Amino acid sequence: MKLVAAPDKFRGTATAREVASAIGRAAHSAGADCIEVPMADGGEGLLDVLGGPDRFTVVTGPLGDPVEAGWRLDRGTAVIEMARVAGLELAGGPDGNQPLDATTAGVGELILSAVESGARRVVVGVGGSATTDGGLGAIDAMGSQARYRGVEILVACDVRTRFTDAAEVFGPQKGATDSHVRLLNGRLERLVQVYGERFDVDVSALDRAGAAGGLAGGLAAMGAELVDGIDLVAEELRLDEHLADADLVVTGEGWLDRTSYEGKVVDGVGVYAAAAGVPLLVVVGGAEPEVAGRAGVVSLSDRFGMDRALSEPTALVELVVGEALDRR
């Protein structure tokens, strides 16, 4: 029997690699083979699943203080995770963030550094941001558009939100009050005009342009391509090849809700599994009631209680997967 372990992180409790290893231990205990393919969808964890950082650069953090950001450069491809540069956690979470001032300047500085270091392909993961600056900080830091001729920039998005919806949809999660959201909405609407005049690109018409508070749209104005992060990662890690002769695929994440089925890891892995005709098991830390009852979903908090789900997620994942294999 062959099993493919393709989970996302359980945010705050276990990395995707740790969860995949737990699935692998359960498989080996049951006498099954397991291919571990930890996944990400463009949010936090993208860099880790694509090989991890091998370079570090000091750039501007979300609130203006310097941060040392890890990134990767391998055979001309750079991988940048904006959460390590302008992430909400770096800003102190929603309570510590300054929603009107948070900047993506460091992301632009890191893209520039990558290109100056020889990158001809740059992958930017844009989840987990503190910012709603429409990417203006990044664009200003990147300098002349001419510098990026011949460079492919791919923006790995974990949402499909439009540019001018970013403040209303994500602002409150970043500490924005109602008045902040109104101001940020106005900023994004003005930037639609600015980018149209400066780059001849209508970012308001692009799906995914609202990712990371509009950073995705700003980079698109500079010529970047916006893609679903799950598809980019699946292609990079050859998920379809691993599923070709598999008997079961196990995926999961820390919290399952309706957005999990809108282009995130659980949704994407499910699509690939269905295409390959492979049964799917979804193990999650917790789930909203409306999705918890879906076929093939096991919620650790529902079964073992929230305290255990938070304190020993990998042990419980190993237990649940082992039980599922025993039943096959």
Q: Are residues 22 and 142 in the same domain?
A: no
Location of structure tokens 């939100």 = 161
How many C-beta neighbours within 10 Å does residue 305 have?
11
**Half-sphere exposure at residue 85, Cβ-oriented, CA atoms within 13 angstroms:** 31
Among 113-117, 222-226, 258-262, where is mean pLDDT lowest? 258-262
For residue 30, being part of any structural domain is answered with yes
Please spell the DSSP secondary structure of 192-204, one letter per residue.
HHHHHHHHS--GG
Question: Whole-angstrom Cα distance, residue 309 to residue 303?
Answer: 9
pLDDT of residue 294: 85
For residue 288, being part of any structural domain is answered with no
Does the pLDDT at position 328 exceed 90? no
What's the CATH number where 225 sits? Answer: 3.90.1510.10
Averaged confidence pLDDT in the chain: 96
CB 35 within 8 Å of CB 5 = yes
Does the pLDDT at position 290 exceed 90? no
Among 37-46, 170-179, 207-216, 285-294, where is mean pLDDT lowest? 285-294
Residues 250-273 pLDDT 10s: 999 999 998 888 889 999 999 999
Q: Are residues 24 and 54 in the same domain?
A: no
For residue 254, being part of any structural domain is answered with no
Does the pLDDT at position 182 exceed 90? yes
Burial of 154 (0-12, 13-18, 19+ CB in 10 A): buried
Question: Whole-angstrom Cα distance, residue 55 to residue 155?
Answer: 20
Q: Which of 273, 64, 97, 95 shows the shortest CA–CA distance to 184?
A: 97
Does the pLDDT at position 232 exceed 90? yes
Residues 81-107 pLDDT 10s: 999 999 999 999 999 999 999 999 999
Residues 23-36 pLDDT 10s: 999 999 999 999 99
Residues 6+ apart with CB under 8 A from 177: none
Burial of 241 (0-12, 13-18, 19+ CB in 10 A): exposed
pLDDT of residue 263: 82
Does the pLDDT at position 185 exceed 90? yes
Q: Are residues 160 and 274 in the same domain?
A: no
Q: Are residues 76 and 140 in the same domain?
A: yes
Q: Are residues 101 and 209 in the same domain?
A: yes
Residues 6+ apart with CB under 8 A from 52: 70, 72
Q: Are residues 65 and 13 in the same domain?
A: no
Q: Are residues 26 and 68 in the same domain?
A: no
Q: Are residues 224 and 187 in the same domain?
A: yes
For residue 66, being part of any structural domain is answered with yes
Q: Are residues 61 and 164 in the same domain?
A: yes
Q: Are residues 105 and 171 in the same domain?
A: yes
Does the pLDDT at position 292 exceed 90? no
Tokens of 62: 């979300």
Domain that holds residue 35: 7-39+242-249+264-280+308-328
CB 40 within 8 Å of CB 312 = no
Q: Are residues 54 and 34 in the same domain?
A: no
pLDDT of residue 262: 82
Q: Which of 231, 312, 309, 229 shows the shortest CA–CA distance to 272?
A: 231
Q: Is the dihedral of CA 241, 244, 247, 253 positive or negative?
A: positive
For residue 299, being part of any structural domain is answered with no
Q: Is the dihedral of CA 114, 115, 116, 118 positive or negative?
A: positive
Does the pLDDT at position 243 exceed 90? yes
For residue 255, being part of any structural domain is answered with no
For residue 326, being part of any structural domain is answered with yes
Residue 56: pLDDT band with limits 50, 70, 90: very high
Q: How far is CA 118 from CA 47, 68, 76, 113, 154, in A?
A: 18, 20, 6, 9, 16
Phi, psi dihedral angles at 287 (to 5 degrees): -155, 145
Q: How many domains does the chain have?
A: 2
For residue 76, being part of any structural domain is answered with yes
Q: Are residues 212 and 315 in the same domain?
A: no
